[in-house]
Amino acid sequence: MEKGQAAVEFMLTYGWIIIVVLAAIGALLYFGFLSPESFNQKQCEIAPGLDCLEFRATTDELTLIIENNLGQDIFIQKLKDSTGKCSFEEGKEIKTGEKATFLLQKCKYGSKGENLKTEVEVKYQSSTGIDHTETAQILTFIE
């Protein structure tokens, strides 16, 4: 066997192996086995100073416990979830260092055990009277 023929056979053999490995990785990605959400950790992030201490999602509700560490009293005007089409519009004051519970009802999430990745718009007014809007990033499982 000549050197050129051996080199071509070597390249073809390993070329096929690389194609098979890439196809397997592609299939795993396509079916969601290597998706970052499959290794989901629960997380809730709003903004510096507004801390999401605890949160829970069911098929029709989202509960958030928010702590105010902004250094001034705030008035939460509205929380709105675009994914579940639900909101909390009653308004609630949170003094500096205190926490409050918010319940967003009549949400339309998936079924129990599914991953939930959503954004909740948080509208609040600071003690100076200025309106602010922050977006909470929530990643959890539906209970």
What is the structure's pLDDT at 74? Answer: 96
Spans in the chain with pLDDT lower than 50: none
pLDDT at residue number 28: 86
66 and 19 housed in the same domain? no
Do 116 and 99 share a structural domain? Answer: yes
Cα torsion angle, 123, 126, 132, 136, sign = negative
Res 123: pLDDT: 96
Considering the domain architecture, whether residues 103 and 122 belong to the same structural domain is answered as yes
Closest CA to 75 of 119, 122, 136: 122
Are residue 15 and residue 71 in the same domain, yes or no? no
What is the number of structural domains in the chain? 2
Q: Which domain holds residue 52?
A: 40-141
The pLDDT value recorded for residue 84 is 75
